[in-house]
């Protein structure tokens, strides 16, 4: 990959792969989460309506796993890039863990929500920090409005967050770099195809993603191995 120039406006998209070296399972790889849980049973509005306790059991397990994880060299490389190029970087993640923030990245755009936040499923109260675990037989926490407290996660069938800001930055960026995402879930899977003609698009991961043909370049390697040298230095 040609080195990033100081004039580059960089859009970084991360997926579960960047947290894999921190011990957080991906979704579709070996031991992936969707090998052990059915999406429709734990990560959809219908699942929440049908069995909110099972949904909280799933997200409580994910909170415990993420709370024990530490950022890896890939997260720190992106944090350092942010320190170097400032507001010329937009870091967008599909991940709901907080490892980018723990590594020092700021203004992270969590398009699928945040694991350590919850919100009311009824009123418009803003999402709030919540690292509690609610395993059965714990009661489903209630809002003062009477609604049930749910994980602040974008479930299948719901609209991801910050999409206007994401598409605006996709159009303005000169370098789009996707890291650790299998390219199987919309809308992130078509971000590379949505950048302007003037931008280059690079994928970084140990295996080709399903949308590899939409990138100008694919770099095979693990995030923790590749990112520190790849992103170091400007012109
Ligand atoms: N470094 C970089 N990439 C890695 C690493 C690593 N060390 N290990 C695995 N990967 C790659 C895999 O090759 C795979 O392409 O990470 C990708 C993980 O793909 P998925 O498990 O499909 O995760 P992701 O693409 O983030 O899923 C997108 O799907 O289930 C929904 O909302 C959930 O945000 C998630 C979305």
Q: What is the pLDDT of residues 108-148, one digit of tens each?
A: 999 999 999 999 999 999 999 999 999 888 899 999 999 99
Ligand 1 atom nearest to CA at 182: 15
CA distance 103 to 56: 27
List the catalytic residues.
112
From the CA of 16, how far away is ligand 1's center (Å)? 4
Is the model's pLDDT at 234 over the cut of 70?
Answer: no
Residue nearest to atom 16 of ligand 1 (CA): 17
User: Tens of pLDDT along 66-119?
Assistant: 999 999 999 999 999 999 999 999 999 999 999 999 999 999 999 999 999 999
Q: Which domains does the chain have, with CATH numbers?
A: 10-24+71-112+160-231 (3.40.50.1220), 30-68+119-153 (3.30.1600.10)
Pocket test for ligand 1, best of 96, 110, 178, 181 (most atoms within 8 A of CB): 181
* 96: nearest Cα among 123, 124, 125, 58: 58
User: Tens of pLDDT along 198-223?
Assistant: 899 999 999 999 999 999 999 999 99
Residue 179 neighbours by CB under 8 Å, 6+ apart: 12, 13, 14, 15, 17, 18, 74, 203, 204, 205, 223, 227
Q: Two tokens at 194? A: 């949505």
Q: Two tokens at 125? A: 């109260």
Residue 213 neighbours by CB under 8 Å, 6+ apart: none
pLDDT band at 191 (very low <50, low <70, confident <90, very high): very high
Spatial contact of 119 and 67, defined as CB atoms under 8 Å apart: no
Enter the pTM of the model: 0.97
From the CA of 40, how far away is ligand 1's center (Å)? 19
From the CA of 143, how far away is ligand 1's center (Å)? 33
Q: Which residues pair with 3 in a beta bridge?
A: none
């Amino acid at each position: 990959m040609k080195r990033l120039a100081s004039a580059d406006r960089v859009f970084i998209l991360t997926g579960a792969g960047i947290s894999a070296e921190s011990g957080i399972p991906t979704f579709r790889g070996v031991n992936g989460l969707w090998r052990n849980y059915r999406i429709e049973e734990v990560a959809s509005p219908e699942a929440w309506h049908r069995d909110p306790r099972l949904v909280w059991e799933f997200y409580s397990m994910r909170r415990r796993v993420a709370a024990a994880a530490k950022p890896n060299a890939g997260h720190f490389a992106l944090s350092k890039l942010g320190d170097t190029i400032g507001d010329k970087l937009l870091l967008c993640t599909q991940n709901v863990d907080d490892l980018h923030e723990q590594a020092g990245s700021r203004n992270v755009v969590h398009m699928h929500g945040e694991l350590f936040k919850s919100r009311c499923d009824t009123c418009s109260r803003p999402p709030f920090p919540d690292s509690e675990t609610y395993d059965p037989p714990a009661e489903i926490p209630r809002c003062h409005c009477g609604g049930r407290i749910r994980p602040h996660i974008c479930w299948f069938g719901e609209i991801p967050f910050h999409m206007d800001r994401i598409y605006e930055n996709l159009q303005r960026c000169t370098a789009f770099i996707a890291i650790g995402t299998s390219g199987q879930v919309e809308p992130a899977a078509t971000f590379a195809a949505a950048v302007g003609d003037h931008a280059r698009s690079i994928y970084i991961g140990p295996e080709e993603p399903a949308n590899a043909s939409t990138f100008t370049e694919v770099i095979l390697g693990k995030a923790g191995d590749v990112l520190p040298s790849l992103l170091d230095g400007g012109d």
